[in-house]
Structures are given as structure tokens and as C-alpha cells.
A and B are shown apart, each in its own frame.
Chain A
Amino acid sequence: MTVATDIAATGFESTDKVRASLARRHAAEKRFRLIGLVAILLGLGFVAILFASILAKGLPAFWQSNIRLTINLDPAIIKISPPPQQQEGQSNAAHQAELLAWRGELASLNWGRLIENALIAELPSDAAQRRRDVSRLVTSGERFKLRDLVAANPNLIGSTVDVDLLADANVDVWVKGNIDRTLPDAQLPLNPVQRNYVAVLQEKGLLVQRFASGLFVNVDSRSSLASAGLAGAFIGSLYMMLIVIVLAVPVGVAAAVYLEEFATKNRLTDLIEININNLAAVPSIVFGLLGAAVFINWLRLPLSAPLVGGLVLTLMTLPTIIIATRATLRAIPPSIRQAAIGLGASRVQTITHHLLPLAIPGILTGAIIGVAQALGETAPLLLIGMSAFVASVPVTPLDQSTALPVQIYLWQGNELRNFFEARTSAAIIVLLALMVMLNGLAIFLRRRFEKRW
């Protein structure tokens, strides 16, 4: 056998070996791909289930039962003199005081009775004797709607107005079928008489579903559940977001630039780097404890204030922004730095003219994701008193307020489950929509500022 055939023979042999192993390798590849595909499908499936369940539960809450009533603004019930006019020679302050007294008087009138009367006019004749049952068909907060109507236009007294008034939460639950109707009477929120009235109103076409604008314009309520809304929580969250953006973004970017471009690499900066990375993984409730200790106990800032919430969330967001900014700065090719420095640009010029403009997309993405994360954070806010029931829209960041995720948490625990289950999901939808918008903004800005090199 010559050397040449020897080599040829071993060549054939190894080809056979390769062929034999091919089937195994292809099978392994297929398995690997299949596992990946299954993982993705599972993930997508869970997300789909989550969204479907939230949307299915929450979307109906955006429409709410209203009762259309013709209300007679009876002067016999609204016994009030015409609003005071400013007399000649009367000081503004005196006039304001008079006006305030008039408004106070207006508020103390029995507006509920007007609604009862209007309902009784539509209901069977026995309703006049069952005012208690009748009054509970419309949610209690709606009487203020009438008061505001008259306060805005006192000439309405004596006339009749057509208004849509929010039905009581229990009526809404009953109409939407969110309760088992076969339950014994004792367990149903509406008694047989009220159920009959609801049926009558439905028959007359007076019970209509309207867009639940109250969800967006009203504050939280415990006495008039049907009109509980997100306005206070929304504004509170907005204030906190603004504080986070104003504080965390500049501080985070400045810290990242310093660490990345100025600081010399030594033990101290290594330690700082490790700590920043670890800080990003600290459970958020710990930041809440820190906030309670420092901002509330030590600095004596007010409880439940968006300012404190914003400060706590700033602390929580800082590591995210610092890490994102540093990663972006590090990803800029060193050739850009060299080019600028070689031309005689100072360090600050190199950073402001070249590095930061190139880093903007990354910084924005990091900042917006950090802010979105802060927006959805609940735990730290519980510890600084933002889980309190607050029935007003905060005017300044120092006023008491709650936040969107905290509001969701509070509603989720409300006793009137049948009503608030849907309302909670609706609030989650609002929060998610806000998140999607923020992320959309991040993507948009990224595209807008992205430059290739």
C-alpha cells in the first residue's frame, strides 16, 4: 500500500465518521431550536393571558350605569336668596366673604331630596313611601353635581333640568351581572323593592351606560363608591415623575460622566461602581424605609407627599440611569474621543460636543425606563404614608396624595369586590397605557437621536 492510498483510506474513514455524527448534531440542533420556540410561545402565552384577563375585566368599567332624570329645581327645597352682588363702596374682601357664606348655605341644602323626588316621579306609586330605598339608587356624590349646577347658574332655580346621574355602585354591579343573582336576599346588596325599581328604570330606558369620565376626573371616594376616580392618584404620580426626571436624570448623568470620564480607576471608584450596581438590585421597599427614616423622621418632610415619594423614587431610579449612561458612554468608539482630544478639545468639550450627543439615545432610554419603573413602584410609597385614603387632588407636591399603583392596591382591597374588581382592572389599564406611552416615547426619541458612526 502506498502512502497516497493510505491517506485516501483514512480520508474516507473520517468522512464516514463525520456523516455518522451529522444525524446526532442535526437532532441536537432541532431540539435546541424547539426548546427556544416553546419558551417564547410560553412567554407570549402568559403575556396574552395577562392582557386578556385585565382587558376583559377592566374595559367594562370604562362604561358605567347612569340614571337619566328630569330634576325639578324646586324653590321650596332650594330655599336660598339670590347670590350677593358687590355693592358700591363694598370692599372686595367683604364681597368675597358674603359670597362664601352664600355658597356655604347652598351646600347645606337638601339636594338629595331633589333627586329622590325626580326618581319617585318615574317609579311605581309605592316609591313615595320608600324614600330610603329610592335614595340609594343614585350614588351619594351626585347631589353635589346639582349644587354645582345651581352655583354656576342661580337662575336655574325653579326650572327643570335633564341630567344623567351615576347609579349607585350596587346598581351598577346588578345591571352588569357582576353578582350571582340566585343568592338569597340577605346576601344581595339590593333588596327586592330596589331590584324592582331598577327593572322599572331599565324598562323605561332611563338606565343607560355612559363613558365613566368620573374615573379620570374624580378623586377617590369611600362614601360615594361609584364616583371614585383616579384624578388624585394620577396627579400625585405626575408630580413624582416630574421630581424623578428633574432630580434623577441630571444627577445620574453627571455621576455617570464623572465616573466614566474623569474618575481615576482605583479601589475607591471600584467600590463605588460595585455599590451602584448593587443598589440597582436592592428591594424597593428598603428605599421606602430609607425615605421614611431620612425624609420624614429626620428632615420632617410631610407624610404622604409626592415630594417625599419623588425623592424616594429618585434614589431608586439613580442606579438605573447611572448604569445605562455609563454603558452608553462606554459603547462610544474610543476613536471619537481620540479624534476630539487629538484636535485639542478639552475634556469637557469632548464630553459636551461629542460624547453626550452620541449618548443621548442611550441616556434617554435608560431614563425613561427608570422613570417608568418608578411610576409603577408601590412598595416604597406604602412606607412613607402614600397608602392613606386621600380624597383631594394635590395642588403642590407637598400636599397629601396617593399614586396610581398605590390606588390600584387600595381599590384591590376594597370591600365592595364586585364593583372594584373591574375598577381596579380599569386603573391597571390606565397605568399600563401610561407605561406603553412612555416606552413608545423612549423608542421614538431613540430613533430620532440615533446616529451611526
Chain B
Amino acid sequence: MLDPSKFLADPSAVNVAAAAQSEVALGDPKVIARDVNVWYGDKQGLKSVSIDIRSRSVTAFIGPSGCGKSTFLRCFNRMNDTIEGARVDGTILLDGRSIYDPDLDVVELRARVGMVFQKPNPFPKSIYENIAYGPRIHGLARNKSDLAQIVETSLQKAGLWDEVKDRLNDPGTGLSGGQQQRLCIARAIAVSPEVILMDEPCSALDPIATARIEELIDELRANYTIIIVTHSMQQAARVSQRTAFFHLGVLVEEGPTETIFTNPSDKRTLDYITGRFG
């Protein structure tokens, strides 16, 4: 359902949404980060960040470009490992267990912590193959019909099933931008992750497609822990229960979304949300 009020930048809409969200009981900490530092070569991208991410809720990371929010997001599934010259230290616990635990394979971690990227990036394969790939490499399906079931459920959860059920063998790259992004979300869901990381998932999409994704994020909250990086403060206000504001590699302030947007305790947060910089 499209709710026109979600498109409004006007603060009263934010307040209404935030007030509604404040009633939602937030879960226990799913992910705990303590003193996380990230270096790119000699440059420190992230300075001693600590945060608790609640389960079955949406946490938004906001802040101006280059503030370290995407860098921090990529720590949770160790995507920073793949970047040449990147170095991470500090503690990150998933369900109380370090993600750098030698017993926890990075492959397993990434199966438990899925990711959706800024630009929709379906594989140049069929829609079916896009979804089936993850379950297949992790051996989640016992047989073909099992796999087909996973594909269908994932597409349904991502709200894409009705649009693509008759053309599952068409290339995934032939879909529209919004559909491609939902395909990527379905692909992430297909491996049954516990946490889904979203790195500006709507920045390449038009407003209609954006609304559709935001609605989807709201639905997914019931089953998954979601962390979303966004440039749009309205989006953060619309979809998240908690918001963290980053500036120059530092976590300035973190708290319930309505508090951050209505009564921030730090002046930098206030300046940012009122549009004085960023």
C-alpha cells in the first residue's frame, strides 16, 4: 500500500510515523559493536564506533557523504575484507559471538548476514537462477522442487512474485530498476539470513520504486534485523525504529528515530537534520 504521507518531507509526517514506531517493542541486541576502527591504508575511515543493533527492527545509518556509515555497514558481513588495504579492529558480536571467531567461516557469516547494494546488481542470469544461486551454493534445498519453493517464497516475500512468475527464465537484468532491486532483496532473503544490510538501496530508484522498497523493508522487519544506510533523512524517518548519525568517521548520536529527528542531543545532529550541512 502506498501511503502518500510517506513522501512528504514535512516534519509533522515524520512525527506521526515516529510516534507510531515508538510503541513498537524493540528486540534484544542482535549485533553488538564495540570500539570498531577501520583504516584504509593510513587513513582512518571509522573511529572507535560502538553500537547495539536491536533484532527485528530497522536501524538507519545517516550522515553526510564520506562519514563512514557505509564503511561501518560493511564491517558486519566482513565485506571490508575484500577491499585492498582495509583494516578493521574492535569487537563485533553477532548473537554474542565474534564475527572474527576463527570457528565462524566468513562464508557462513555472509549467509547469516545478507546484503543489498546501492546499485541493483542481479547476476546476468535468469530471474530463477538469481534467486536459486544462494540456496544452491549453501546446499539449502534438498531437491529441485524444494529449490523452486524457496525461489517462490523469496520472490513473494520481496513482493515480486506476481510480476515475474510467468517469466522466471527471463534474464534478471531485463527487469526495471525497482524490480531489479527487489530481485536483489529476494536473492538475499533466499539464503534465510538473520540480518540484512542495505547500502542506500533506493538511491538509484525513482520515487514510486522507492516507496515500494520502503514498504517491503517495513514488512521484512517482522522477521529480520535490518540495517539501512541512507542519504535521505525522510527515508530514515519513514522506515527505521532507531537511527544512528555519523559524521567524519565518528558515531555522533544513536537512539530512537523520533528522538534523533525531534530532539537530538548533539548540535551536529541538529545541524544535519535541519539541513545546515551535508
Interface residues of A (CB under 8 A from B): 264-265, 333, 335-346, 349, 353-354, 358, 451-453
A338 contacts across to B, CB distance below 8 A: 79, 82, 115, 117, 121
The answer to whether A452 touches B173 (Cβ under 8 A) is: yes
Contacts of A451 in B (CB 8 A): 124
Q: State whether B79 touches A343 (Cβ < 8 A).
A: no
Q: Does B108 contact A (CB under 8 A)?
A: yes
B188 touches A343 (CB 8 A): yes
Please give, as numbers and ranges, the residues of chain A lying within 8 Å of B82 by CB-CB distance.
Answer: 337-338, 341
Q: A265-B84, A344-B111 are in contact. Are A358 and B184 (CB under 8 A)?
A: no
Name the A residues within 8 Å of B110 (CB-CB): 341-344
Do residues A339 and B121 form an inter-chain contact, with CB atoms below 8 A? yes
On whether the beta carbons of B121 and A336 are closer than 8 Å, the reply is yes
Given A343-B110, A343-B134, A452-B173, CB of A335 within 8 Å of CB of B124: no
Which residues from B are CB-within-8-Å of A452? 124, 173
Residues from chain A with Cβ under 8 Å of B123 in the complex: 336, 339-340, 354
Contacts of B108 in A (CB 8 A): 344
Instruction: Give the docked Cα–Cα distance between A339 and B190 (Å).
Output: 13
- Complex CA–CA separation, A370 to B148 (angstroms): 43
Q: How far is the CB of B86 from chain A (nearest CB, A)?
A: 12
Contact of B242 with A by CB under 8 A: no
Across the interface, B187 reaches (CB within 8 A) one of A337, A343, A353, namely: A343
Can you list 19 contacts pairing A with B, beta carbon distance less than 8 Å?
A336-B121, A336-B124, A338-B117, A339-B123, A340-B123, A341-B79, A342-B79, A343-B111, A343-B114, A343-B137, A344-B108, A344-B111, A344-B134, A344-B137, A344-B138, A345-B107, A345-B137, A353-B133, A451-B124
Interface centre among B109, B110, B122, B173 (most CB of A within 10 A): B110
The answer to whether A339 and B184 touch across the interface, beta carbons within 8 angstroms, is yes
Chain A residues near B138: list those with CB within 8 A.
344
B227 CB to closest chain A CB (Å) equals 14
Considering the chains assembled together, what is the distance between the CA atoms of A33 and B114 in angstroms?
53
Tell me the bound Cα distance from A339 to B121 in angstroms.
Answer: 7
Q: A335 and B117: CB pair below 8 A? A: yes
Task: Contacts A265-B84, A452-B173 given; indicate if A342 touches B117 (C-beta within 8 A).
Answer: yes
Contacts of A335 in B (CB 8 A): 117, 119, 121
Cα distance A335–B84 in the bound complex, in angstroms: 16
**B231 to chain A: closest CB distance in Å?**
19
Report the Cα distance A333→B77, complex, angstroms. 21
B124 close to A358 (CB less than 8 A) = yes
Segment 94-139 of B: residues with Cβ below 8 Å from A: 107-111, 114-115, 117, 119, 121-124, 133-134, 137-138
Chain A residue nearest to B134 in the complex (CB): A343
Confirm or deny: B155 has a beta carbon within 8 angstroms of a beta carbon on chain A. Answer: no
Q: Is B251 an interface residue (CB 8 A)?
A: no
Give bound CA distance, A346 to B81, whole Å: 13
> Does B191 make an interface contact (CB < 8 A)?
yes
Residues in B with CB closer than 8 Å to A265 are 84
B-chain residues with CB within 8 Å of residue A344 when the two chains form the complex = 107-111, 134, 137-138, 191
Chain B residues within 8 Å of A340, by CB: 123
Q: Closest B-chain residue to A265, C-beta based?
A: B84
- How far is B134's CA from A277's CA once the two chains are assembled, in angstroms? 38
What is the chain B residue whose CB lies nearest that of A264? B84
Q: A335-B117, A335-B119 are in contact. Are A342 and B124 (CB under 8 A)?
A: no
Bound CA span A173–B108, Å: 78
A338 to B70, CA, bound (A): 14
Give, as a whole number of angstroms, the nearest-CB distance from A65 to chain B. Answer: 59
A130 to chain B, nearest CB (A): 78
Q: How far is the CA of A10 from the CA of B123 in the complex (A)?
A: 57
**Docked complex Cα distance between A451 and B173 (Å):** 10
Contact A453-B124, Cβ < 8 Å, known A338-B79, A341-B79: yes
Q: Which of B84, B111, B115 has the most CB of A within 10 A?
A: B115
Rank and list the top 7 A-B pairs by shortest CB-CB distance, nearest first: A335-B121, A344-B110, A342-B115, A344-B111, A453-B124, A343-B134, A339-B121
Residue of A nearest to B174 (CB): A452
- Measured between beta carbons, the chain B residues less than 8 angstroms from A358 are 124
Extra inter-chain contacts (12) besides given A353-B133, A353-B137, CB under 8 Å: A335-B117, A338-B79, A339-B117, A341-B82, A342-B77, A343-B111, A343-B187, A343-B191, A344-B111, A345-B107, A453-B124, A453-B173
CA distance A346 to B133 in the complex (A): 13
What is the CB-to-nearest-CB distance from A396 to chain B, in angstroms, rounded to a whole number? Answer: 43
Question: Least Cβ distance of B138 to chain A in Å?
Answer: 6
Assembled-state Cα–Cα distance A344/B114 (Å): 8
Beta-carbon contact of A342 and B114 below 8 Å:
yes
Bound CA span A451–B123, Å: 11
Q: How far is the CB of A162 from chain B (nearest CB, A)?
A: 64
The digit string for B137-154, where 1 denotes a CB below 8 A from any CB of A, is 110000000000000000
The interface residues of chain A lying within 8 Å CB-to-CB of B107 are 344-346
CB distance from A78 to the nearest CB of B (A): 71
A345 to chain B, nearest CB (A): 6
Which chain B residues (175-199) contact chain A, with CB distance < 8 Å?
184, 187-188, 191
User: Least Cβ distance of B90 to chain A in Å?
Assistant: 21
For the complex, what is the distance from the CA of A337 to the CA of B84, rounded to whole Å? Answer: 14
* Residues of B with C-beta under 8 A to A346: 107
**For residue A347, which residue of chain B has the nearest CB?**
B82
Could you say which residues of chain A place their CB within 8 Å of the CB of B124?
Answer: 336, 358, 451-453
Interface centre among A333, A335, A337, A344 (most CB of B within 10 A): A344
A230 to chain B, nearest CB (A): 44
Give the distance in Å from the alpha carbon of A342 to the alpha carbon of B196 in the complex. Answer: 10
Chain B residues positioned under 8 Å from A349 (CB to CB): 137
Residue of B nearest to A354 (CB): B123
Taking the nearest CB of chain B, how far is it from the CB of A360, in angstroms? 12
CB distance from B184 to the nearest CB of A (A): 7
**Could you tell me the distance between the alpha carbons of A236 and B133 in the complex, rounded to whole angstroms?**
46
Q: How far is the CA of A335 from the CA of B116 in the complex (A)?
A: 11
CB nearest to B138 among chain A residues: A344
Bound-state CA distance A453–B191 (Å) is 23
